[in-house]
Amino acid sequence: MSKLVNPHGSKELKPLLLEGKEREQEMKKAAKLKQVPMTTRETSDLIMLGIGAFTPLEGFMGHDDWKGCCEDLRMPSRDGLFWPIPITLSATKQLADSIKVGEEVALFDTETQQIMGTMKVSEKYTIDKVLECKRVFTTNDVNHPGVEKVMAQPDVNLAGKVKVLSESYYPEMFKGIYQTPADARRIFTERGWSTVAALQLRNPMHNSHAYLAWIACEICDGVYVHQLVGKLKPGDIPADVRVKAIDALVNKYFRKERVLQGGYPMEMRYAGPREALLHAVFRQNYGCSHLIVGRDHAGVGDYYGPFDAQKIFHEVPKGALELQPLPLDWTFYCYDCGSMASMKTCPHESKAQIDENGQYKGGSRLLLSGTLLRKLMSEGKPVPAEFSKPEVIKILKEYYDNLDEKVEIKMHGAATGDANAKKKK
């Protein structure tokens, strides 16, 4: 019998993905329905609904739940269920006007040109986009990649229960990595794990990530290295390259019986603290008891303080989540300690100096970040050996060497060690 945490707000997972004859019949029906085009973010949210990662949601949110999530992290329609980020579907006013409440529509992925599901429309409503952005992202600055997408949404939101028909290309493209919550729970149970710490990754795994995972291995039965394989902003390293790099590190530097790799299809919102809470919700659905929350979790630029994502867990109402955060301090390589360390353990406070050839010049703490790694690699500069394992650097170098067009990587406070970087609003 499984000793894993319960799914969020439910005793069992609630996947909305149809299979077999039921799927075939719904596909035939969908081909005759009016089509609602979806963005890549909406498509990824639909897949998350399909695989049960967004248990216990049954579809895209109505106005009251949208507002409740934005303002109070609650869904009024589900007796105040804790939920940190709205899951919504938008449509142009012209299309929305042509759809009647109670009508069934087909949900169409514009990227793959594929019908992904159907929805019975229960509500049509408009939203205050600035309100959503300020509540969810803490800013309405359109330079923020998440804000940019919300502000670009069409005017009307459509709500309703969905039936999901496809997981798109994820199962094939990321075979061996892509997992549903049911898949992960089955493996955890087979291994006899009851406590599992999820490590959220959207970057290749550098030594700070590995250090956090090793700490979690000491605390929990196992670590779930759970990487995002959905869409990221320009300049981030694509999923197939990240998967290859993470695989190289995990296979050589971890005990295989204490770690499991997985991939999930959600698109990154870069919502910082709020996205950390969403990560907690669906990691609980995956069967994880803990979520590692380190520096600048799900952040971008200087929109959030380096540990805002840890602080927001203090605002979660008691009993709203079974999963618990595993807050870990800023980690780095210390030349004086001769090892990885953290702000809580290392007494040597000077910043390490590295020359243009990647050679150590003096100082103690070499601060590691995915942003800095991407910048060094994109500019063809040497990466210090203490930064990441050679197997990872080799894979990333091959990727950057073969890029036709270089993307400029901008540094920010959380990536350089400035804990007091000015936050944008």
Tens of pLDDT, residue by residue over 76-96, are: 999 999 999 999 999 999 999
Distance separating the N- and C-terminal Cα atoms of the chain: 48
* Triad 181, 184, 188: Cα angle to 5°: 135
pLDDT digits (tens, 9 = 90+) for 189-220: 999 999 999 999 998 888 999 999 999 999 99
As given in the structure block, the two tokens for residue 314 are: 């203090």
Cα 108 to Cα 115: distance, rounded to the nearest angstrom? 4
**Average pLDDT over every residue of 62-87:** 98
pLDDT digits (tens, 9 = 90+) for 371-397: 777 778 888 888 888 988 999 999 988
Q: Please state the separation of Cα 412 from the chain's center in Å.
A: 20
Q: Around 247, how many Cα atoms within 13 Å sit in the side-chain half-sphere?
A: 14
Distances (CA, A) of 226 to 53, 281, 345: 13, 14, 27
| Contact present, 121 and 129 (Cβ < 8 Å) | no
| pLDDT > 90 fraction of the chain, expressed in percent and rounded | 82
Distances (CA, A) of 71 to 66, 149, 153, 274, 299: 9, 19, 20, 12, 20
Could you say which of 41, 74, 157, 203 is catalytic? 203
What is the per-residue pLDDT for 422? 47
| Contact present, 184 and 5 (Cβ < 8 Å) | no
Could you say which of 41, 202, 295, 365 is catalytic? 202
What is the per-residue pLDDT for 90? 98
Smallest Cα–Cα separation from 179: which of 291, 55, 258, 262? Answer: 262
User: Could you tell me which residues are beta bridge partners of residue 263?
Assistant: 178, 227
As given in the structure block, the two tokens for residue 373 are: 């790694």
Give the helix/strand (H/E) hosting 63: helix 63-72
Non-local CB neighbours of 345 within 8 Å, separated by 6+ positions: none
Q: Is the pLDDT of residue 319 over 50?
A: yes
Phi and psi, residue 172, nearest 5°: -85, -45
Q: Within 10 A of 359 (CB to CB), how many other CB atoms are there?
A: 11
Q: Please state the separation of Cα 11 from the chain's center in Å.
A: 24
Cα 414 to Cα 307: distance, rounded to the nearest angstrom? 9
Spell out the domains of the chain, with CATH numbers in brackets: 20-167 (3.10.400.10), 169-264+270-328+368-425 (3.40.50.620)
Smallest Cα–Cα separation from 223: which of 190, 271, 263, 256? Answer: 256
Q: Is the pLDDT of residue 333 over 70?
A: yes
Question: Would you call 56 helix, strand, or coil by DSSP?
Answer: coil
pLDDT digits (tens, 9 = 90+) for 146-200: 999 999 999 999 999 999 999 999 999 999 999 999 999 999 999 999 999 999 9
Q: Is the pLDDT of residue 418 over 80?
A: no
As given in the structure block, the two tokens for residue 196 are: 């599992």
Q: Is the pLDDT of residue 408 over 50?
A: yes
What is the bridge-based pairing of β-strands 59-60 and 34-38?
unpaired
User: Could you tell me which residues are beta bridge partners of residue 264?
Assistant: 228
Cα 95 to Cα 127: distance, rounded to the nearest angstrom? 16
Smallest Cα–Cα separation from 57: which of 71, 46, 70? Answer: 46
255 catalytic, yes or no?
no
Strands (DSSP E) along 357-397, which ranges? Answer: 360-362, 365-367
Q: Is the pLDDT of residue 417 over 60?
A: no
285 catalytic, yes or no?
no
**Average pLDDT over every residue of 93-104:** 98
Residue type, 83: W
pLDDT digits (tens, 9 = 90+) for 254-287: 999 999 999 999 999 999 999 999 999 999 999 9
What is the per-residue pLDDT for 148? 97
What is the per-residue pLDDT for 205? 87
Our CA dihedral for 20, 26, 28, 31, rounded to 10 degrees, sits at -140
Mean pLDDT, the chain, whole residue set: 93
pLDDT digits (tens, 9 = 90+) for 348-365: 999 999 887 888 899 999
What is the per-residue pLDDT for 415? 47
User: Could you tell me which residues are beta bridge partners of residue 82?
Assistant: 74
| Contact present, 272 and 137 (Cβ < 8 Å) | yes
What is the b/e burial string over 398-415, where b = at least 16 CB atoms within 10 angstroms of the residue's CB? ebbeeeeeeeebeebbbb
Distances (CA, A) of 48 to 52, 70, 132, 285: 6, 20, 21, 11
